[in-house]
Structure 1
Amino acid sequence: MADSTTPSDQMDPSAAALLKQNTATVFQLLHWAEPKKSACVFGLSQLVLVSMATFSLISVVSYLLLAALCVTVTFRVYKSVIQAVQKSDEGHPFKVLLQRDIVVSPETLGGAVDQSLVHLNHFLHQSRRLLLVEDLVDSLKLAGVMWVMTYIGSIFNGITILILADIIAFTSPLIYQKNKTQIDRYIQLIGSRMEETMIRLQDKLPGAVRRMKKD
């Protein structure tokens, strides 16, 4: 029987709270709760991915840092000139950001490490369970997914898949909200058809390798 323990069940409270907060932030971005922030993140992610598809990773990082420096240096010089002309003493234009605490505390780092270890252990456990065929149905499902991925990999490279995944991640929630009833009906229909197919396939297997899923 498959292990019902989930990574969130094994986390300490601080790591679980951090995961919940990050998940809520991502959820709000993908569902366009704040359109300006979502548009900014989506545009920036697409820019980075398309740039990586055209240039090397080193070039993309260098250009991004160079662009950031051009903006900050230009703004610093502009504010200095304005302050000199107006004879004001507003100080450094980025004073608020420079004074903000960005130090990673040991508690935060420890929580992130614990969270990563929980997910890594869960991944290793599930990989062993699927590859060693603890449950025949789940292993066959994985084989089907990997078979489909071989065709996807032969058509698209890794960066193209990431670009498409980014587009789907930001557009599918909006499409789902507008067509929730129809999509739920089709998902339920596809799920029932897949279960029927797996059951028929399992019934045709020899009794020695047949294994029904347990609750």
Structure 2
Amino acid sequence: MADPMTQSSQISSSQGLADGQNSAAAKDSQFSDSFLSSSPVSLIQSPQAKELVYWRDPKKSGVVFGVSMLLLLSLATFSVISVASYVLLALLCVTISFRIYKSVIQAVQKSNEGHPFKALMEKDVSVPPETFRKHVDVCLTYINRGLKYMSRLFLVEDLVDSLKLAVVMWLLTYVGAVFNGITILILADILLFTVPLGYEKNKTQIDHYIDIARTQINTTVAKLQEKLPGSLKRKAE
């Protein structure tokens, strides 16, 4: 006959495991719902990135936008190896020219200022292990949640969500037939530096139309879900 204490311990352990699984599923569901319901502008979390895309400093944002567009346009025309080689070659030409210029000036003026890049060379450019591990842990958390959510979609845990993904992938086939990867990146770069600023200036009107569209979509999905067999309906939270 089994010991009552042992049975109680096994029941508590199984309940704890079930609670942990339910908690993990709830976190995954919360992650997917918040990701799908949030606007693209709200996905920008970094303060530095927000300052750039909202053009808080027009000079800095203009430089970043110009450099990124130039790089993408170069990649659209030349290979990645050629672009990387030209960029590094241009950087070397600038530093070597400046080094020779400063050496000539020091020889003419008979000064002993030393290496012009001495202050930069003395700076510690290494990445601290704590900072690296912190960013890796944060990235790993999002990657694991994303992989978990994608497995739920591709293994059809929820038929409605999987059908949504199928529709998106079907639409992307038409996008891929019209644009290549570099063209999409160029359009994304342009939208990144224009949409947030336009959204900020017309936030009330845009949110109103987004809420209307979201309500219509949710209503349509709910009607379709009601027509599904009971075994295929969305599981209750």
TM-score, structure 1 as length reference: 0.84
- Give the C-alpha shift of residue 88 in structure 1: 2.6
Percent of paired sites with the same residue: 57
Question: Which of 29, 32, 38 lines up with 2:52 in the alignment?
Answer: 29
For residues 139 and 234 of structure 2, the distance between their equivalents in structure 1, rounded to whole angstroms, comes to: 33
For residues 55 and 213 of structure 1, the distance between their equivalents in structure 2, rounded to whole angstroms, comes to: 52
Question: Which of 223, 227, 230 lines up with 1:200 in the alignment?
Answer: 223
Aligned residues: 200
Aligned 1:56-67 pairs, distance under 5 A: 56-67=79-90
Equivalent residue for 1:165? 188
Equivalent residue for 2:66? 43
Equivalent residue for 1:190? 213
Equivalent residue for 1:14? none
The answer to whether the Cα contact below 8 Å between 2:54 and 2:197 also exists between their aligned partners in 1 is yes
For residues 142 and 173 of structure 2, the distance between their equivalents in structure 1, rounded to whole angstroms, comes to: 25
Q: Per-residue CA shift, 1:8-54, capped at 9, x if unaligned?
A: xxxxxxxxxxxxxx822112211112222211111111111111111
The answer to whether the Cα contact below 8 Å between 1:130 and 1:139 also exists between their aligned partners in 2 is yes
For residues 147 and 58 of structure 1, the distance between their equivalents in structure 2, rounded to whole angstroms, comes to: 33
Q: Does 1:209 align with 2:237?
A: no
Structure 2, unpaired ranges of 5+: 1-21, 32-44
Equivalent residue for 1:105? 128
Question: Which of 87, 109, 130 lines up with 2:153 in the alignment?
Answer: 130
TM-score, structure 2 as length reference: 0.77
Letter in 1 for 2:102: K
- Give the C-alpha shift of residue 213 in structure 1: 5.1
Equivalent residue for 2:95? 72
The answer to whether the Cα contact below 8 Å between 1:46 and 1:166 also exists between their aligned partners in 2 is yes
Q: Per-residue CA shift, 1:43-72, capped at 9, x if unaligned?
A: 111111111111111111000000111111
**Which secondary structure state, in structure 1, belongs to the residue aligned with residue 229 of structure 2?**
coil
Runs of 4+ residues deviating >3 angstroms: none
Equivalent residue for 1:17? none
**Which secondary structure state, in structure 2, belongs to the residue aligned with residue 32 of structure 1?**
coil
Equivalent residue for 2:109? 86
> What is the RMSD computed on CA atoms of the aligned residues?
2.0
The answer to whether the Cα contact below 8 Å between 2:75 and 2:182 also exists between their aligned partners in 1 is yes
1:93–1:213: structure 2 CA closer, same or farther, 3 Å change rule?
farther
Letter in 2 for 1:100: K
The answer to whether the Cα contact below 8 Å between 1:28 and 1:34 also exists between their aligned partners in 2 is yes
The answer to whether the Cα contact below 8 Å between 1:83 and 1:90 also exists between their aligned partners in 2 is yes
The answer to whether the Cα contact below 8 Å between 1:130 and 1:138 also exists between their aligned partners in 2 is yes
Equivalent residue for 1:4? 27
The answer to whether the Cα contact below 8 Å between 1:135 and 1:213 also exists between their aligned partners in 2 is no
Letter in 2 for 1:157: N
